[in-house]
Structure 1
Amino acid sequence: MFTIRSLLDNPDLGLRLLVEGRAGALDERVVWVHNTELTDPSSYLGERELVLTNGMWLAQAGAEEFVGNVVGAGAAGIVFGLREQLPRTPRAVIDACATAQLPLVEIAVGVPFTAVTRAAAGHYAAMRQSGLLGMVRRGDALATALSHGAGASGVLEVLRRDYDVPLVVVDRAGRLLAAAGADTTVEQRRAVAERLGDHPPPLEIDFGDGRVASVFLVGAIGDLDAALLCLRPLRELGDGERAALEQAARFLSLEVAKQQAVHAIELRFASELLDMILSGPQRSGEVPGRLRAFGVDPGGSLAVVALAFMGAGAPTLPGLAEAVMEFFLAENSPAAVAGGTGDVVAVVPWRRPDSDLRDLAARLAHAVDGQFPGHRTVVGIGGSVENSAGLKQPLVRSRDACQVLRRRGGTPVATFAELGTHRLLLGLQDADTLRDFADVVLGPLREHDAQRGSELVRTVQAFLEHGGQWAATAEALFVHVNTLRNRLAKVTELTGRDVARTEDRVDLYLALEAAEFYG
C-alpha cells in the first residue's frame, strides 16, 4: 500500500518528517500526489491525495488558511519543497500542520517533485504487478484444488492462506457447501437462500446478531446458485481481499455447476428407480442393479418410507431430498432417495423388526424439521419386504400413508396399517369433495338439531360406535330404546338413509369420519 511512510523509507528522496500528524496517519493509504500553489486547492484535491507545494501561496495567504483548506479537502498530508529563496520550512506552516494533526514532510532543494511522482508511480506499478502475480498464483492454486477434487472447501483453504477472513459458502437451498473460520446457523443459511432470490441480490446480509456478511455471488449454468460469504462488512475489506473473494467466487461457480450436474443425475437416477418398482414385472429386472448403484443390497430385507411437509398440496422445497440423504449418511446407512413434486421416498436396508421403523421415521422427521424451520414433516411407513422383488407394495403404502398424514395432521409418523383402510381412502380424496359429501349426508340432521335442540347426529354416532346394538346405544345415550327408535326413524326421514341397511350405515359412518377428518 502506498503511504507517506513508504515515501519516507525511500532513501533516494531524502525526505524529512516535520509533523507526524494524528496517530496512524503515516500508514494510511495515499491515493496519489497533487502539485499546487493555490491558496485554496480544495476544489481540485481528491480525498487521500498528498499535496506537493513550494509555498508560493505564502504571499497571498497565511499558513493556517492554506492548511485548513487542505484538511477540508481530506488530503493525506503535505510535502513542502524547499527552494533557494526559502531554504527552511516556515515555522507557521509547521505549527499549522501540528495544530491540524496533518502530516508534514520536507523535501530538499535539490530534489524535484517529479521524483516523488515517479516514486508514487513506481509503487503503484509494483502493487499492480504484485496483485496480478498474486491473482495468477492464486488462480493456479484454485484450479489445482478443484482438479484434485478438493471442492468448495479447497477453494476456501486457498483463500485462507492469503487472508485471515471467516468464510462460508451457501447454496440457494440454504445448504452449507463449505466453511472456514466461521459458523452459521440453519436459520442464517435459510436467510441467505431467501436473500439470493432478491432482485438485485444483496451486497451484504445482516444476520441480526451483530454480524454482517459481505456477499460474493456464485453463478452456475447461467443462474445464481450460491454465495460466498465473508462474515465481515464490505467496508472492512481491502481491495486485495475483495479481488481475491471475487476471483474465488468465479472458481466456485465451476464447482457448484459440477455439483448440480451430478446431483441432477443422482435425482433422475433415483426417480427412475421408483418408476421401475411401480412398473411391476416389465422392469423388475432393472431394480437390483439400480439399488446396488446406491449401495443398497437388493437381496436383503428392505424398508420404504415416504416423507413430505404437512398440508395438502404443500410442495417439496429445494434441499429436502438432500436433507434425507444427509440423515441416512449420519445413520451410516446406504439409501436410495428419490424426490418428487409431492414427497421424498427412501428405500433402505432393514434387518430389524418392523416396529423399529417408527423410531427411524420419527428421528428422520425430527432431523428434517431442524433443516426447515417453520415446516412440519410427516413420514409414512410402508413396511419391509424380504428383497427388492416385493418393493411395489411398501412403496405404494408409504406414499399413500404420507398423503393421508399431510391432510389429516396430528401424529407426524404412521404406518399404512395404523391409518385403517377407510381413513386411508378418505385421506386420498379431495378435501372439498369430502366436505360436500359430509354436508349432504349430515346437513339435514345438523339443521334439525340446531332448530329443535335434538341430538340426531350424536345418536347416529353412538349407534354406529356400539355396532348397531339398540340396548347398548340407548344405555350410552341415557334414553329409552323406543326413544332411540324414534330418533333413528327421524334420521331416515331426513336423510333417506336407513341404519338397518348396510350401505346406508356405510354412508353415515363415512360422512361422520369425513367431518372429523377435515374438521
Structure 2
Amino acid sequence: MTTVKTLLEIPELRMRLRTGAGALGREVSRIYVTELPDPSRYVSAGEVVLSGLLWWRGPGDAGPFVAALARAGVAALAASGADTGGIPQDVVHACAQHRIPLLEVPPDLSFAVITERVVLELAAARGREPGGARKRLLSAATEDVSLPALLRQGAIELGAPCWVLSGTGRLVAGTAEPPGGDLVANFVPGQEVSVHDGCAVLPVGGSFAVPWLLAVGHPEPGALAGELAELVRLARARLDQVRRMSGRSAEPLLHAVAEGGPVAEAFAASGLPEDAEIHVLLARAPDDGAALAADVLAELVAEARPVVGAVGEDAYALVVEPGNWMGAAADALAQADRLISLSRFHLGSGGPASVDGLRGAAQEARHAVELAGRRGGRIELVAGEDIAVHQLLAAGAPDELRRTVRARVLGPLLAYDAAQGTDLVHTVRVYLECSSSPTVAARALHVHVNTLRYRIARASELLGVDLNDFVTQVDVYLALLVTV
C-alpha cells in the first residue's frame, strides 16, 4: 500500500512535510494536477493533488481550495511555491485546519518527474511492477514529454494507430491520417470504452471544461489503452500548466486591453507580432466562473496559439487572424455540447484591430457578449462585426444615461400609451425601421396607410418633433433602442 509517508520517503522527490504529520498513513490512489481555484468537481478520495499554486492570488484564497480537497477526502496536497516566493502561510494554515498533509515540492523539481515517480510507486505497490510495454510507455511519457512522442510509443505497443481528439472535434495529435467516421459524436459519455468503425474511444480524464478522447484503431485494445489514456491526461495537465503560466505572463496586456492602461508597452512583452491584426474574444460562463471560461476559450482557438487569460469575471483571448473564428467556434461548441461541463457559455468578438485599436476591439467584444447573454440560450455566440453600428453606440452608453435619454426623448409618448392603452411607441419604431415608408410600415402593422399617417402625425405632435426629419429620426430611433 502506498501512503503519504511513502511519498515523503522517496529520496529523489525531496519533498518536505509542512503540516499534517498525524495523517501520513492515508492511502494514496493516484496523483492529480490542478490549478483551478475551485477543484471540487474534479478531485476524489485518495488522490495526491499536485499544484503550482497558480490559483493563489492573496490571503484568503487558500481556504476555499483546501476545503474542497478536504470534502473530497484527498490524501495530501503537494505544492510548489516557485511562483509565489515559497508556500504562502495561509495555504499552510488552511491545510492544518482541514487536516490535509501539505508536502512542499522543491522549486527545481518538475511535475513530470514527480508524476512519473508516483505512478511507478503506485504500480509497484499494486504488485504490478511495470515491465515491458507499460515501462516503455512510462519512459516515453517522461523522457520526451511531448504528446506526439507518447502517442507514437503507444501505437507501437498497441499495434494500432492512436489519436487524441478534443471534445470539439479537433485532432490534437495522431500517428496516422484521422480515422473515418465521427468518433467524437459517437462517443457515449460515461462509458469506459466506446467502439465505432473499428476504433475504441476512451475518455481522457482531468479537470478540463472540454474533455479529450483517446482513439485506438482496434476495437479491443486491452488494458494498456487505459494506461495510455492516463498518461495522455498527465501530458495534457502539463500542457495546461504551461498555458496558465503563459497566461499569467500576459496578464498585464489582458488587463490593459480590458480595463485600460499602457497597451503598447504591455503588448511589446507579449510575444505577439507587432504588425498583426488581432481579434479580441471575450467569453463568459455565468454559472462556472472565468477560469473554466478561459479553458473553453483556449480549446476553441487552440490552433491559433492565442494569448488567453481571465480578467475579473471574464475570459479574454487575443488571436492573430483566426480566420472564420465564429463559424469554427459555433461548430466546435455544437460538437462538444454533449461533453462540455459548462452550464452556460456566451462568446463575443471584436476586431480585427492593430495594437492601437485593441481597447476599442475589446469594448466591441464586450457589447457582443452582453448581447449574447440577453438572447437567453445556454450557448450563444455573437461577432461584433455582425452588430449594427447604431446598436453598438446604444449599447455603449451607461445605464443612467440610457434611462435619461429614453425619458427625455420618448417620455410624452410613453406616458400617452400608458394612459390611453395605445402602442404608438411600437408604431413609430416600425415606421422608422421601414425607412419611413408609410406604405411598407402600414403593411407590416396590418393597418390602412391613412391610419398609419394619422398615428405618426399624432406621435410627432406628442413628442414635439417632426418624425419626417432625418436627424430627428436618428435621435428617436436610438432612444427606442435603449429600451430593448
**Please, what TM-score do these two structures have when normalized by structure 2?**
0.50
Tell me how many residue pairs correspond in the alignment: 324
* 1:27-66 correspondence to structure 2 within 5 Å: none
Q: Distance in 1 between matches of 2:352 and 2:265?
A: 20
Secondary structure in structure 2 of the residue aligned to 1:379:
strand
Q: Distance in 2 between matches of 1:396 and 1:226?
A: 44
Q: What amino acid sits opposite 1:513 in the alignment? A: L
- Deviation at residue 448 of structure 1 after TM alignment: 2.4
Query: In the alignment, does 2:9 pair up with 1:138?
Result: yes
- Deviation at residue 487 of structure 1 after TM alignment: 2.0
Aligned position for 2:374: 409
Aligned position for 1:319: 291
Aligned position for 1:3: none
Contact between 1:305 and 1:347, CA under 8 Å: does it hold in 2? yes
Q: What amino acid sits opposite 1:358 in the alignment? A: G
Q: 1:440 to 1:256 in 2, by over 3 A?
A: farther
Query: In the alignment, does 2:350 pair up with 1:393?
Result: no
Q: Distance in 2 between matches of 1:435 and 1:227?
A: 47
Which structure has the larger Rg over C-alpha atoms? 1
- Match among 104, 125, 145 for residue 251 of structure 1: 104
Q: Distance in 1 between matches of 2:443 and 2:256?
A: 56
Query: In the alignment, does 2:377 pair up with 1:423?
Result: no
- Deviation at residue 418 of structure 1 after TM alignment: 0.6
Query: In the alignment, does 2:319 pair up with 1:348?
Result: yes
Residues 317-371 of structure 1 show CA distances to partners (whole Å, capped at 9, x for unaligned) of: 4635752575268x344222243235333223446xx334432366479979977
Query: In the alignment, does 2:417 pair up with 1:449?
Result: yes
Contact between 1:277 and 1:283, CA under 8 Å: does it hold in 2? yes
Aligned position for 1:271: 251
Q: Distance in 2 between matches of 1:226 and 1:298?
A: 45
Aligned position for 2:284: 308
- Match among 78, 88, 105 for residue 221 of structure 1: 88
Q: Distance in 2 between matches of 1:183 and 1:318?
A: 25
Secondary structure in structure 2 of the residue aligned to 1:467:
coil
Contact between 2:305 and 2:319, CA under 8 Å: does it hold in 1? yes
Q: Distance in 2 between matches of 1:141 and 1:491?
A: 83
Q: Distance in 1 between matches of 2:243 and 2:452?
A: 64
Contact between 2:37 and 2:65, CA under 8 Å: does it hold in 1? no
Q: What amino acid sits opposite 2:422 in the alignment? A: S
Contact between 1:276 and 1:283, CA under 8 Å: does it hold in 2? yes
Q: Distance in 2 between matches of 1:217 and 1:426?
A: 51
- Deviation at residue 200 of structure 1 after TM alignment: 9.4
Secondary structure in structure 2 of the residue aligned to 1:359:
helix
Q: Distance in 1 between matches of 2:67 and 2:366?
A: 37
Q: Distance in 2 between matches of 1:226 and 1:365?
A: 44
- Deviation at residue 460 of structure 1 after TM alignment: 0.8
- Deviation at residue 454 of structure 1 after TM alignment: 3.0
* 1:103-142 correspondence to structure 2 within 5 Å: 138=9, 140-142=11-13
Q: 1:141 to 1:321 in 2, by over 3 A?
A: farther
Larger mean Cα displacement after TM superposition, 215-224 or 480-489: 215-224
Q: Distance in 2 between matches of 1:365 and 1:430?
A: 34
More helix by share: 1
- Deviation at residue 269 of structure 1 after TM alignment: 3.2
- Deviation at residue 275 of structure 1 after TM alignment: 7.6
Query: In the alignment, does 2:401 pair up with 1:437?
Result: no
Q: Distance in 1 between matches of 2:334 and 2:92?
A: 27
Q: Distance in 1 between matches of 2:334 and 2:480?
A: 30
Q: What amino acid sits opposite 2:284 in the alignment? A: A
Q: Distance in 2 between matches of 1:276 and 1:465?
A: 38
- Deviation at residue 433 of structure 1 after TM alignment: 3.5
Residues 32-51 of structure 1 show CA distances to partners (whole Å, capped at 9, x for unaligned) of: xxxxxxxxxxxxxxxxxxxx
Q: 1:403 to 1:464 in 2, by over 3 A?
A: closer
Q: Distance in 1 between matches of 2:274 and 2:333?
A: 22
Q: Distance in 2 between matches of 1:404 and 1:336?
A: 20
- Deviation at residue 372 of structure 1 after TM alignment: 6.6
- Match among 253, 265, 269 for residue 290 of structure 1: 269
Q: What amino acid sits opposite 1:402 in the alignment? A: R
Query: In the alignment, does 2:305 pair up with 1:334?
Result: yes
Residues 126-148 of structure 1 show CA distances to partners (whole Å, capped at 9, x for unaligned) of: xxxxx99x779716232289xxx
Q: What amino acid sits opposite 1:334 in the alignment? A: R
Aligned position for 2:214: none
Secondary structure in structure 1 of the residue aligned to 2:283:
strand
Aligned position for 2:439: 471
**Please, what TM-score do these two structures have when normalized by structure 1?**
0.47
Contact between 2:406 and 2:480, CA under 8 Å: does it hold in 1? yes
- Deviation at residue 419 of structure 1 after TM alignment: 0.9
Q: Distance in 2 between matches of 1:195 and 1:275?
A: 20
Aligned position for 2:327: 358
Q: What amino acid sits opposite 2:328 in the alignment? A: D
Aligned position for 1:462: 430
Contact between 1:380 and 1:405, CA under 8 Å: does it hold in 2? yes
Contact between 1:365 and 1:379, CA under 8 Å: does it hold in 2? no
Secondary structure in structure 1 of the residue aligned to 2:104:
helix
Which one scores higher on RCO, CA 8 angstroms, separation ≥ 6? 2
Secondary structure in structure 1 of the residue aligned to 2:482:
helix
RMSD over aligned Cα atoms: 5.5
Residues 58-88 of structure 1 show CA distances to partners (whole Å, capped at 9, x for unaligned) of: xxxxxxxxxxxxxxxxxxxxxxxxxxxxxxx
Contact between 1:171 and 1:226, CA under 8 Å: does it hold in 2? no
Task: Give structure 1 stretches of 5+ with no counterpart.
Answer: 1-130, 146-158, 185-189, 229-233, 235-241
* 1:145-160 correspondence to structure 2 within 5 Å: none
Residues 98-152 of structure 1 show CA distances to partners (whole Å, capped at 9, x for unaligned) of: xxxxxxxxxxxxxxxxxxxxxxxxxxxxxxxxx99x779716232289xxxxxxx
Q: What amino acid sits opposite 1:360 in the alignment? A: A
Secondary structure in structure 2 of the residue aligned to 1:381:
strand
Q: Distance in 2 between matches of 1:226 and 1:360?
A: 43
Q: Distance in 2 between matches of 1:164 and 1:250?
A: 13
Secondary structure in structure 1 of the residue aligned to 2:318:
strand
Contact between 1:276 and 1:286, CA under 8 Å: does it hold in 2? yes
Q: 1:357 to 1:510 in 2, by over 3 A?
A: same
